[in-house]
Amino acid sequence: MDEYLKKEYWNGLIKMSLSKLFILKVLFEEPLHGYEISKRIGSITNGCCAPTEGALYPVLREFEKYQYLVCKNETVNGRQRKTYTITPKGKEAYSIGIAAWQETAQVLMNSHEKLTQ
Strand partners, 108: none
Q: What is the mean pLDDT of residues 3-20?
A: 85
Give residue 17's domain range: 2-116
The enclosing domain of 87 has a CATH number of 1.10.10.10
Count of domains forming the chain = 1
Residue 48 has pLDDT above 80, yes or no: no
Confidence of residue 51 (pLDDT cuts 50, 70, 90): confident
Confidence of residue 49 (pLDDT cuts 50, 70, 90): confident
Residue 52 has pLDDT above 80, yes or no: yes
Structure confidence at residue 58 (pLDDT): 95
- The answer to whether the beta carbons of residues 84 and 32 sit under 8 Å apart is yes
Residue whose C-alpha is closest to residue 47's, from 56, 55, 38 = 38
Write the CB contacts of 81 (distance below 8 Å, at least 6 apart in sequence). 33, 73, 74, 75
Residue 17 has pLDDT above 80, yes or no: no
Q: What is the pTM of this model?
A: 0.83
- The answer to whether the beta carbons of residues 60 and 27 sit under 8 Å apart is no
Bigger pLDDT: 75 vs 84: 84
Residue 42 has pLDDT above 80, yes or no: yes
Sign of CA pseudo-dihedral 105, 110, 113, 114 = negative
